[in-house]
Structure 1
């Protein structure tokens, strides 16, 4: 078994070893180097070091976002990663796409419920009557977030529909952000919005299963009502896969890593592009993902895809036997910002 040369000296952690990291690392990174020695902590440090090495060696990184990470304000660290060219493509759920913008325009109207585990059905019903949509300990306000964004997006959908144009879900959202029409509603620094940063930098974004989101439901409603005449004004998931295949073919030869936050479609959809190119299109010499890390607390049992260990992906032609592979079984809201901080040198 190969052991990282840095880790061989970790129990001693000499003054020289400390100074080596102090030259290039901030206080968070130094803390991790000193304390994260075993179990999930060690896996976190290993993954962070490998991520940083991958980028320093000229590789690119693809980040997937599942769960409710945007409501957990992952933009506070992810926007910086995008800004510093540490992230080169993103796949996210429709919820994470929209919830970053909900937070941008309605942050002060969110309601936190620290004792959410103690809520009764009556308490939950009262939140519903107040039009507060709960995500664990955080309630998203319907009027200030959902309906405000719906108004802006409907303008974009209708304009494209009337012109006979079609765009991807993220393109509509980025158009609305870059137009400035929402600027008057900003309640956080837009530099802490990962989607704003991605829009500015034209970062490749893929949103499979977008219809399983609040705005996807709203779009369907406007199609049913007849306001939107062409149901295909918003492009589909299959079109996203075609686009991903083209992008992967261009980028992967340079070394493309896969950093998965949570499970679900955000991770399952894009990682399959490799076997699709090789097995279905029968293209020879398709590069595999050159780094893989998943942060998840999903149980590795009973056919759980989100909880599958990375080695299983070797059998599907997604990873190679020598690909750096990490799985961190922990809360992504805690681990992802720490890894991002390490990569950024904070």
Structure 2
């Protein structure tokens, strides 16, 4: 890696113990994997797009520090919504003290709250809806089928959303991903807002459900991507932000290839890091420590593994800054 910038120097000087030391170890392990020719998958749980992780994530994509992404449908769509409706978002720092009436007042004004940030329904969801309907309908009329992320790639690359841009487009990770055409898997897309909108068109008889490819097809797509990305000298690492399906889904591809497809010598994940504030507890997948994954054929005992038990909105930008040498 090139000479470290002030953020990296600050991290190395001050972050010496406990979770801060784990952050440094994870960042250095990430850099080592890439320097030795490895690749990295990043999974996005929670509402990281609404938290504007794109400010650091987009640059990671542009500089080839991320090679495949797994994310929830919410993260897929909310980055684009932030791109086209940012000025209409509302921040409510006193959300901890809200009562039912306060929450009801937000929805009456067409705001949907995510912690301290309210997404404007009309400017975000509905502005994007008409463009999605057009690409869904066009694909159906041509007898074509695509993944959810591919439809968004089409819209972003067409330039038709540029009229709405309200942030610097370099801070949109979805735009960066579309321009790089990096692979994305989006398990459980159906429970997102755009997934719900698509389902509504299906119920009304306006669209066919098969127009959008779904979960099993994402898994078979992931197998091909894993085979390609793990074929290098150091394999493919796994950097998990938050818990849930965005992490559970892709990490299972390795035991599936080894045990169910019976493909011998399938490489295990070459690196693992999870940023989570989920307490380690009985039966909690999001709170499971990495060594549990050894018993499932996902990691090896020698796999560099890290857990940073902290807020991902604080930790991820710091690690990304370190990896970028800032």
Same fold by TM-score greater than 0.5: yes
Select which of 292, 298, 302 maps to 2:272.
292
Which residue is 2:314 aligned to?
A: 334
**Correspondence 1:314 to 2:305:** no
Which residue is 1:150 aligned to?
A: 129
Name the CA distance, whole Å, in 1 between partners of 2:113 and 2:317. Answer: 23
Which residue is 2:243 aligned to?
A: 263
**Correspondence 1:71 to 2:50:** yes
Aligned to 1:253, the other structure's residue is in SS state coil
User: C-alpha deviations, 1:118-177, integer Å up to 9, x for none?
Assistant: 111101000000000000000000010000011110001111111111000000011011
Task: Give the TM-score of the pair, scaled to structure 2.
Answer: 0.98
Residue 306 of structure 1, CA deviation: 0.5
Aligned to 2:41, the other structure's residue is in SS state strand
Aligned to 2:274, the other structure's residue is in SS state strand
**Correspondence 1:324 to 2:292:** no
Detail structure 1 runs of 4+ shifted over 6 Å in the superposition. Answer: none
Matched ranges for 1:198-277 at <5 A: 198-228=177-207, 230-254=208-232, 255-277=235-257
* Root-mean-square deviation (Å): 0.9
Aligned to 2:8, the other structure's residue is in SS state helix
For the pair shown, the structure with the greater C-alpha radius of gyration is 1
Which residue is 2:83 aligned to?
A: 104
**Correspondence 1:119 to 2:98:** yes
**Correspondence 1:195 to 2:174:** yes
Task: Give the TM-score of the pair, scaled to structure 1.
Answer: 0.93
Which residue is 2:65 aligned to?
A: 86
Residue 273 of structure 1, CA deviation: 0.2
Select which of 22, 33, 40 maps to 1:43.
22
User: C-alpha deviations, 1:161-195, integer Å up to 9, x for none?
Assistant: 11111000000011011111111000001111000
Aligned to 2:141, the other structure's residue is in SS state helix
Name the CA distance, whole Å, in 2 between partners of 1:343 and 1:323. Answer: 19
Aligned to 2:298, the other structure's residue is in SS state coil
Which residue is 1:178 aligned to?
A: 157
- Higher relative contact order, structure no. (Cα contacts within 8 Å, ≥ 6 residues apart): 2
Matched ranges for 1:127-146 at <5 A: 127-146=106-125
Aligned to 2:307, the other structure's residue is in SS state strand
Which residue is 1:15 aligned to?
A: none
Structure 1 residues not aligned, in runs of 5+: 1-20
Name the CA distance, whole Å, in 2 between partners of 1:151 and 1:120. Answer: 34
Aligned to 1:72, the other structure's residue is in SS state coil
Name the CA distance, whole Å, in 2 between partners of 1:252 and 1:72. Answer: 30
Structure 2 residues not aligned, in runs of 5+: none
Residue 304 of structure 1, CA deviation: 0.2
Which residue is 1:14 aligned to?
A: none
